[in-house]
Structure 1
């Protein structure tokens, strides 16, 4: 059964595809397809191919047979290799002229993007050349065999044929001057008076019952530099009237699976063919039959010879033959193989390239034992330098002043080091240096950054590029340390990487004068930490606390010179946009039975990557907005929330009475470790933390503050919200808030509650979160600020879990594409405390200062305490009009905090109005502020 053509093509693709098309002895070199002005084209896969067309590159033939019928002398038929297999048997019976052959060649495929392999083979069922002359055929893989009959001056190059029960290639019918080169053949036979047939650099694979290369009645046949895998008959057999034949430089592997090997030789020449026939420089490996009998290598004129010495002594042939007992260590490219550099370069039919397209190469590690000191290998393959990689680097003074010698070194994976030539282009316009040395020095004439390009050329002219390296040539001078400090802000490329708040980049390369390469760099960040590097480079550092730091950089260059510089660096949180998220519960200590305790700080992990689901939170957020609820307190106490890694501030966020439940919105910067901390002042309580959103530099929406504006009041519209019920409220597209706002800041007040309950404000009515925004109690007016993403049609949804309660909503600002300001978080800071200046009387206003002059809005925690009567406080811009809305509700004897977002007036001031309900002490803590730009 024949070997499938697809398997043949696969073999060709993996073994021969990288071979170049080179000029062979007696075989015209193949030109590129584009250079064939009178060529014909064949591409069965082309949608517009036609055997009735012109056979042009634009409209190719569909079949090779059609081209074979019309090709003229001097024309080339270009067969597209991309299609692979053409389902036809091709007959060539047209002739070229001397010097103007008809040629069948291949259009190679584009290089494979992964392996770089190029397919240079096309397939057919069969190929017959009959009665033709001056014909060249390259590249076919033929399934059913190749026949050359009665033809003259025929060249077959780079062909293959399938595995069958008859000879894969037959040259007969008195053919003359047929040349078969660089091919892989299932045995071959020359017969019928054919003359001067040449086989060069081929591989023969013989079936058990066939001679690998059989020559019968074919005088002047030449077999040179072939690799022969014989079956159970002769490897090379010359008989009949095949006088004057030549057998040189062949490598023959006898089979070891035959039951009787005694009568079949590796080289057999009959008595009738011996006249004028010569054999030399062949290498024959041992072969044993299944019976254990060794094969006799030679039979010449009817006599067998077991050694090359016997053979030479008796016949005068094979004086330079090698017979080895085993195949081990014989194959081409194996170190120490006796095939290497041991052939006859003057033998008839010698080619300058091997079966893979590689040129004849002299292995410098092997003595040249070939004829007259020649170095051609025996067999079809020529051992080449295995050079594939070149590494180059500036090994000496790659950063140095003008006039210093710069050294460049190359290393390779070559095994033929002594045969290599090294090429150095220093990139400064000087002539490249060509040397047998892999290290050279060069002196640059002017400062600059230069690219040094290198390559290595083998003894046979193959080039392999090295690495392109950079060398810096400086002006002479003194090492002078310098640096710049800039905040590191997240970018779109940091989606999976956390950029901690308060991160600063110390850039020494851009500000340092260094005539010589800096060998060491130490940066003292001024906060008790430092960083050391082996060379000059940028360094990033995340500070735990904003502030002013004295940063010192100390440098030492490779010549031992030192230089230091100290600068004051201001570290602050970056202005940030708001990233809304659907509210989600981050922490509930009731579910873990781990209440928080006074005097012990509880770290709360915020960002994804530390076992916290992302839920839209950004890892590089600078601040987070939370709804914090404290319940089941064992005594009157308050809760403080602040960034991890910083000292606990003297502020508070939630005030809670013994046994009660209280909640508040908290905006807090995120610590460098992605955490915040929460601590009770005293006692124990359960802590519930719900995430509302976050602020992040370089992304999110800007904020626009508005004077507190009433959005809805169920006391005058719609009635109280019942337990388990929802109510939709329009918040965007009304009251000066644009329809495309993404989130709205609201002050949410509950009044007239019939029983303790919680209220949730959320965007999507179909997705109620398991969070809360406000805890209501009978007989108490309670407020909390909420930042709520805008839901469908500019609405939000309100829900209470039990009883009923009236709800009042006042808008204080919105986030959106046309927002005006970015938010800068601050470590919680106390701005004002009337307990040191006196109460705010009913109907009076207190002024809070200390905000940046350019602030347009502020986020405050406002606490009313020691109240003498029920009422409310309203925060608004200093100098502005008092709005008809409230910021928090006061209760006698109860300390009430609330998260307040308010516009800021001139001079960075905010006014807080106390209603006519009673006098109050007012404590104001700053959480952050908004600025434009």
Structure 2
């Protein structure tokens, strides 16, 4: 029966599984001998249940909630009771009654795993001539057996007693109170009284006397048998404990006894009783005097305890029970609780044909008396033994998994974790290894992984015996060591081809060496646009950069900069580098730390001036880049713009330089403190979903020295800068700017006014074409060795990879004789009116240039203003890899 809302129940049907009864009472009215009423566990039933129908011998009527313990049951609501009246051959299992249980005028009734938590005068009442009632493995709140009830058995129950008398037997002959655990607070814990209660038995019980405030002044007593009930009544093998032992443990025939010895001497009862002063050591725990000390022949003894566990012999404890018996006293039987078992294989790595030894270590109460089933994982039959070791010979190589299962004397079993057994082919130790790049993954893009990091994997080594030493010479002057066969990670400081040598030694002393040439290079990467932020300003730290001394600039991975979480796996940084307040004419180089300073430069500066440039640079050792002045001293300002990283970010699509805005013809000059929003995505061939754009910014007609910022969100202007403008000079700088709301960017200048010319040279997005591969800064061309580029002439720069479709260059104009500009475009393609940098007489002007590439070449056009020397440095290139 089942009264859940989805059960489709009814009390007018036949009570099938498909259409169950809604109430227990409905089933009780029609159940027949031999039938079972199955009650939905966890169900709550607001009804008083009366069972008055009978089964037959061998065909009982059964009501069961299908539960094996008190963790689940069927519940009669508060105040609702169960009554068995005038019935016979009835069994009730797994029912929780909040209103008590009464058994009247009934025969052969079993109450099993019943939980009674309330009642009018006692939780369970058995009376009115009932015969053969058994309350077993239950949790009860006081029991009264009365009214001529005969042959009642109370066994393996827990009794939380809330009445003046816990188990009260009144005029009920042959009542057996056996193997119960009773907690009493007031009055008498077990009482046998009345003229008709002769022939009763009180055995194997554990009585806890507990301090509490009692309504009655009646003295506390443990076991009390009235004079009218002593005939044929027996009591033995009980244990009394608790803080209230100052009460009277025994009263027999009206006389009290304070010790088992006095009780036994006067009555012949309780000779094997125990009075245990320390109650904390009593119970189902190691060292308890209840273990293996009961009488297995006592009336009403059950073969299982309150949880259904069988009687078990603790091999660590002497059997002090009757005739060497080992039943425990109380409701609980101490078991060999197997927590686990571990397995070791020795040797766990050996060639086929070697004898290996398996050792099991159990984790349980009883380490003896276990049976072990050793499964060596090669398809052979398990070895079954009581020994904690077993030997085995593997006949052929395998990556086998061994396991052991331990079984105790009551059938509980537990298995070990899988234990690998590496069975190899006989033969010599032969070193083999592979070297692969270790890259961040798209699933965990913030994993700290420095560029040029590799893994040396030795798992392909033919090793018949365990490898005890692996030494790696990485070919760059560094070595690595591990004490086994495995992987070693290493980060190279710069790309190159290295001779990697691996030497191994095994457990038998054999050695083997292998060597191979490994090319280490940067990996093509996508671009991650970030909101720009200031990374370094030596003006605030009073630590100017010095000529001839490298300054380390740390790239902050993780949450080091609030609001700007950066990946620990970034390989290339895009920075805006500004040099100001130089003490002399000089230039600045930026390169990956740990590598030699290149001959290239990034920023050229006149004494007292301010100059800036975008720098794309691989990240060097320890997550840093180096910056160094050629000479003199100056302040250095570094703004973080974005980064490239393998397996993440957006691809780049270079475009023919396209003018986005020219304030000389549209909108007028940008005034100091003013902003102007410019559409950059969704126009001029740049898709609307582009995430960042590469722009060339040119300032002209500035009225005073100022700086210009290009940024994505008009509401969040950063403290960085992109371009420094001066009166009378046209100045350019390239910027990579994240796209803001509605495909726009915002321009700002801090003072004066200036015209701005903005040319788009490419974009990043999910539909981009190419990934970026950085290089150690490399000089591609220098016309100072071949002659100046004449006005209106074009010079071709080669040396780029043939598969490159774009490049990041640092282009420098020097020894200019007149104002003008340079335009960089793909070789063999028409140039446009857009400029890449502006030339100024007497000044050396660099600019970061991103440009399309064709056939591994780019063209540099010099305007008609005057001749120039042009220096072209390669920072990296884009490919459709």
Which of residues 229, 238, 248 in structure 2 aligns to 1:295? Answer: 248
> How far apart are the structure 1 equivalents of 2:602 and 2:93?
86
The more displaced of 464-473 and 757-766 is 757-766
Aligned to 1:191: 146
Aligned residue pairs total 877
What secondary structure sits across from 1:223 in the alignment?
strand
Which of residues 37, 42, 56 in structure 2 aligns to 1:82? Answer: 42
Aligned to 1:805: 754
> Relative to structure 1, is the Cα distance of residues 653 and 249 closer, same or farther in structure 2, using a 3 angstrom cutoff?
same
The answer on 1:426 being equivalent to 2:381 is no
Judge conservation of contact 2:88–2:108 (CA < 8 Å) in 1. Answer: yes
The two structures have a TM-score, normalised by structure 2, of: 0.94
> How far apart are the structure 2 equivalents of 1:140 and 1:270?
34
Aligned to 1:274: 230
Aligned to 2:60: 101
Judge conservation of contact 2:656–2:832 (CA < 8 Å) in 1. Answer: yes
Q: Report the Cα offset of residue 97 of structure 1.
A: 2.7
Aligned to 1:9: none
> How far apart are the structure 2 equivalents of 1:678 and 1:62?
84
Aligned to 1:127: 82
> How far apart are the structure 1 equivalents of 2:849 and 2:702?
23
Q: Report the Cα offset of residue 164 of structure 1.
A: 6.5
What secondary structure sits across from 1:413 in the alignment?
strand
> How far apart are the structure 2 equivalents of 1:442 and 1:217?
68
Correspondence 1:600-619 to 2 at 5 A: 600-609=549-558, 611-613=560-562, 615=564, 617-619=566-568
> How far apart are the structure 1 equivalents of 2:189 and 2:134?
19
Q: Report the Cα offset of residue 349 of structure 1.
A: 1.5
The answer on 1:737 being equivalent to 2:696 is no
The answer on 1:626 being equivalent to 2:566 is no
Judge conservation of contact 1:257–1:288 (CA < 8 Å) in 2. Answer: no
Which of residues 850, 854, 869 in structure 2 aligns to 1:921? Answer: 869
> Relative to structure 1, is the Cα distance of residues 585 and 52 closer, same or farther in structure 2, using a 3 angstrom cutoff?
farther
What secondary structure sits across from 1:612 in the alignment?
coil
The answer on 1:696 being equivalent to 2:628 is no
Aligned to 1:445: 395
Q: Report the Cα offset of residue 165 of structure 1.
A: 7.3
Correspondence 1:686-765 to 2 at 5 A: 686-765=635-714
Aligned to 1:840: 789
> Relative to structure 1, is the Cα distance of residues 581 and 256 closer, same or farther in structure 2, using a 3 angstrom cutoff?
closer
> Relative to structure 1, is the Cα distance of residues 806 and 130 closer, same or farther in structure 2, using a 3 angstrom cutoff?
same
> How far apart are the structure 1 equivalents of 2:716 and 2:242?
83
Correspondence 1:139-178 to 2 at 5 A: 139-162=94-117, 166-178=121-133
Judge conservation of contact 1:46–1:60 (CA < 8 Å) in 2. Answer: no
> Relative to structure 1, is the Cα distance of residues 736 and 376 closer, same or farther in structure 2, using a 3 angstrom cutoff?
same
What secondary structure sits across from 1:266 in the alignment?
strand
List per-residue Cα deviations over 1:618-654 (Å, max 9, x = no partner): 3311111111111222221111111222222221111
The answer on 1:537 being equivalent to 2:460 is no
Q: Report the Cα offset of residue 134 of structure 1.
A: 1.8
Judge conservation of contact 1:848–1:911 (CA < 8 Å) in 2. Answer: yes
> Relative to structure 1, is the Cα distance of residues 927 and 72 closer, same or farther in structure 2, using a 3 angstrom cutoff?
same
List per-residue Cα deviations over 1:509-530 (Å, max 9, x = no partner): 1x21111121222222222322
What secondary structure sits across from 1:835 in the alignment?
helix
Q: Report the Cα offset of residue 474 of structure 1.
A: 0.9
Q: Report the Cα offset of residue 148 of structure 1.
A: 0.8
> How far apart are the structure 2 equivalents of 1:284 and 1:722?
97
Aligned to 1:850: 799
> How far apart are the structure 2 equivalents of 1:591 and 1:330?
71
> Relative to structure 1, is the Cα distance of residues 182 and 663 closer, same or farther in structure 2, using a 3 angstrom cutoff?
same
Aligned to 1:69: 29
Aligned to 2:458: 508
Q: Report the Cα offset of residue 726 of structure 1.
A: 2.9
> Relative to structure 1, is the Cα distance of residues 915 and 344 closer, same or farther in structure 2, using a 3 angstrom cutoff?
same
The two structures have a TM-score, normalised by structure 1, of: 0.89
Q: Report the Cα offset of residue 905 of structure 1.
A: 2.2
Correspondence 1:402-421 to 2 at 5 A: 402-421=352-371
Aligned to 1:8: none
> Relative to structure 1, is the Cα distance of residues 267 and 375 closer, same or farther in structure 2, using a 3 angstrom cutoff?
same
> Over aligned residues, Cα RMSD in angstroms?
2.6
Aligned to 1:344: 295
Q: Report the Cα offset of residue 74 of structure 1.
A: 3.0
What secondary structure sits across from 1:461 in the alignment?
coil
Judge conservation of contact 2:547–2:628 (CA < 8 Å) in 1. Answer: yes
Unpaired stretches in structure 2, ≥5 consecutive residues: none
The answer on 1:482 being equivalent to 2:441 is no
Q: Report the Cα offset of residue 791 of structure 1.
A: 2.8
> How far apart are the structure 2 equivalents of 1:496 and 1:119?
48
> How far apart are the structure 1 equivalents of 2:183 and 2:688?
84
Judge conservation of contact 1:402–1:447 (CA < 8 Å) in 2. Answer: yes
Which of residues 407, 413, 421 in structure 2 aligns to 1:463? Answer: 413
Aligned to 1:17: none
Judge conservation of contact 1:387–1:415 (CA < 8 Å) in 2. Answer: yes
Aligned to 1:866: 815
Which of residues 820, 843, 860 in structure 2 aligns to 1:912? Answer: 860
The more displaced of 381-390 and 249-258 is 249-258
List per-residue Cα deviations over 1:785-807 (Å, max 9, x = no partner): 11122233333232222222222
> How far apart are the structure 1 equivalents of 2:220 and 2:596?
96
The more displaced of 858-867 and 755-764 is 755-764
The answer on 1:216 being equivalent to 2:170 is yes
Judge conservation of contact 1:286–1:295 (CA < 8 Å) in 2. Answer: no
Q: Report the Cα offset of residue 188 of structure 1.
A: 1.0
The more displaced of 98-107 and 217-226 is 98-107
What secondary structure sits across from 1:65 in the alignment?
helix
Aligned to 2:316: 365
Aligned to 1:25: none
> Relative to structure 1, is the Cα distance of residues 59 and 873 closer, same or farther in structure 2, using a 3 angstrom cutoff?
same
Judge conservation of contact 2:124–2:140 (CA < 8 Å) in 1. Answer: yes
Q: Report the Cα offset of residue 888 of structure 1.
A: 0.9
> Relative to structure 1, is the Cα distance of residues 540 and 215 closer, same or farther in structure 2, using a 3 angstrom cutoff?
same
List per-residue Cα deviations over 1:200-221 (Å, max 9, x = no partner): 11123334x6222121211221
> Relative to structure 1, is the Cα distance of residues 530 and 51 closer, same or farther in structure 2, using a 3 angstrom cutoff?
farther
Aligned to 2:594: 645
Judge conservation of contact 1:262–1:295 (CA < 8 Å) in 2. Answer: no
What secondary structure sits across from 1:505 in the alignment?
strand
> How far apart are the structure 2 equivalents of 1:781 and 1:642?
28
Q: Report the Cα offset of residue 329 of structure 1.
A: 6.3
Aligned to 1:397: 347
> How far apart are the structure 2 equivalents of 1:661 and 1:49?
88
